[in-house]
C-alpha cells in the first residue's frame, strides 16, 4: 500500500510515522508513506495556499489550485488512487471504514484547514470525506495520523498473525476483559483466582463473561449492534 499525505504542516508527521507499528510496517515494505508540503505546489512567490471567501465572511478558504497540482502530480506517477479529504463534515471513521480503506492500493489524504476548502476540490478531486468524531480540531493533520494508524495495522503482514485475525472478529462488538500481570498480589489487590488456576476452558469462559459484563455497563450501544 502507498499513502500520500498533502498538508501545510509536513513536519508534524515525522515523529508519528517514525514510531512503533507504522515505522515497522514501512521498514517491512508493507506500506510506503509520503508527506507532501502543499506550499511546494503553489506558483506564486509567497507560496500562498488560502484566500478570502467569495461572498464575504470571516476566515480563509484553502485555494483549489495547489491541491489540484499536488494530487495531479502524485497521481501522474501511478494510477487509481483513492482520494480522501479529512474534514469535519465527512463520515466518522470507524473500524469498518478503516478496514475498507486498508484494501486500497493507494490512498491520497488531503488535510483540511481554516474555515474550509474551495468546493471545487470536493467536486472534482475527492472520492470520500472522513472525520474522526464530533469535536472541533484546528485541522486535518491529527485526523490523517489517526486514519493512517488505524488503516496501516490492518494491512496484511503488518501485525503478527496472533494479534490480528483471531481478535478482529471480536473487535468493535465487545470491550476487552480485564488484564493482569505479575505480581499476583499488588498492594493487597489480588488477581482473580481463576486466572491462576491453569484451567483454560474456565479462563476463557470467565473472560467472555467479563467482556460482556463490561460492555453492558460501559458501552450498551455496542451490544445493541
Ligand atoms: C470554525 C470553523 N468551523 C465552522 C463550523 C468549521 C471547521 C472547519 C475546519 C471546524 C474545524 C476545522 C478543522 N478540522 C478539520 O479539518 C478536521 C476535523 C475536526 O475538526 N474534527 C474531527 N475530524 C476532523 S477531520 C478534519
Instruction: Check pLDDT > 70 for residue 169.
Output: no
User: How far, in Å, is the centroid of ligand 1 from the Cα of 44?
Assistant: 27
Give, for ligand 1, the residue of 131, 137, 142 to mutate: max count of ligand atoms closer than 8 Å to Cβ.
Answer: 137
Measured distance CA(59)–CA(117) in Å, rounded = 11
- For ligand 1, residues with CB inside 6 Å are 86-88, 112, 115-116, 131-133, 135-140, 143
C-alpha 84 – ligand 1 centre gap (Å): 15
* Residue with grid cell 507499528, as numbered in its chain: 21
Closest to 48 measured CA to CA, from 10, 8, 5: 8
Q: What is the CATH number of domain 169-223?
A: 1.10.1270.20
- Bond prior to 197 in cis (omega within 30° of 0): no
Distance 191 CA to ligand 1 centre (A): 44
How does residue 114 score in pLDDT terms, banded at 50, 70 and 90?
Answer: confident
Q: Is the pLDDT of residue 170 over 60?
A: no
Q: Whose CA is nearest to atom 1 of ligand 1?
A: 115
Question: Which homologous superfamily does the CATH classification assign to the domain defined by 2-152?
Answer: SPOUT methyltransferase, trefoil knot domain (3.40.1280.10)
Q: What is the pLDDT of residues 82-106, one digit of tens each?
A: 999 999 999 999 999 999 999 999 9
Q: Where are the domains of the chain?
A: 2-152, 169-223
Taking the C-alpha atoms of residue 141 and residue 165, their distance in angstroms, rounded to an integer, is 29
Closest C-alpha to ligand 1, atom 6: 115
Rg (CA), the chain: 22
* Residue 137 alpha carbon to ligand 1 centre in Å: 5
Tell me how far the alpha carbon of residue 115 lies from the centroid of ligand 1, in angstroms: 8
Q: How confident is the model at residue 79 (pLDDT cuts 50, 70, 90)?
A: confident
User: Which grid coordinates belong to 62?
Assistant: 484553502
Q: Which three cell numbers stand for residue 60?
A: 480563509
The C-alpha cell of 180 is what?
493482569
What's the Cα-to-Cα distance from 192 to each of 176, 177, 184, rounded to whole Å?
Answer: 16, 12, 9
How many whole angstroms separate alpha carbon 15 and alpha carbon 145? 11
CA of 98 to the centre of ligand 1 (A): 20
Q: Hey, do 2-152 and 169-223 end up sharing a CATH topology, with the first three levels equal?
A: no
* Cis peptide bond N-terminal to 76, omega within 30: no
Q: What is the pTM of this model?
A: 0.94
Q: Using pLDDT thresholds of 50, 70 and 90, give the confidence band for residue 115.
A: confident
pLDDT tens-place string over residues 207-223: 999 999 999 999 999 99
Alpha-carbon distance values, 17 to 27, 36, 93, 158 (Å): 11, 14, 19, 14
**113: which DSSP letter?**
B
Amino acid at each position: 500500500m502507498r499513502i500520500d499525505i498533502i498538508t501545510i504542516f509536513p513536519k508534524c508527521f515525522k515523529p508519528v510515522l517514525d514510531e512503533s507499528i507504522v515505522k515497522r510496517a514501512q521498514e517491512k515494505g508493507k506500506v510506503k508513506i509520503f508527506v507532501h508540503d502543499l506550499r511546494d505546489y503553489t506558483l506564486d512567490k509567497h507560496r500562498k495556499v488560502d484566500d478570502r471567501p467569495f461572498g464575504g465572511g470571516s476566515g480563509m478558504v484553502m485555494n483549489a489550485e495547489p491541491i489540484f497540482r499536488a494530487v495531479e502530480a502524485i497521481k501522474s506517477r501511478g494510477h487509481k488512487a483513492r482520494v480522501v479529504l479529512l474534514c469535519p463534515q465527512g463520515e466518522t471513521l470507524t473500524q469498518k471504514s478503516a478496514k475498507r480503506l486498508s484494501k486500497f492500493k493507494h490512498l491520497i489524504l488531503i488535510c483540511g484547514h481554516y474555515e474550509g476548502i474551495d468546493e471545487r476540490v470536493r467536486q472534482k478531486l475527492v472520492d470520500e470525506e472522513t472525520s474522526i468524531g464530533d469535536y472541533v480540531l484546528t485541522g486535518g493533520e491529527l485526523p490523517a495520523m489517526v486514519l493512517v494508524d488505524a488503516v496501516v495495522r490492518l494491512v496484511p503482514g503488518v501485525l503478527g498473525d496472533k494479534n490480528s485475525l483471531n481478535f478482529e472478529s471480536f473487535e468493535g462488538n465487545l470491550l476487552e476483559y480485564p488484564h493482569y500481570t505479575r505480581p499476583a498480589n499488588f498492594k493487597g489487590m489480588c488477581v482473580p483466582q481463576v486466572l491462576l488456576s491453569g484451567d483454560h476452558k474456565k479462563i476463557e469462559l470467565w473472560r467472555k463473561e467479563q467482556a460482556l459484563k463490561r460492555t453492558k455497563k460501559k458501552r450498551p450501544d455496542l451490544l445493541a449492534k
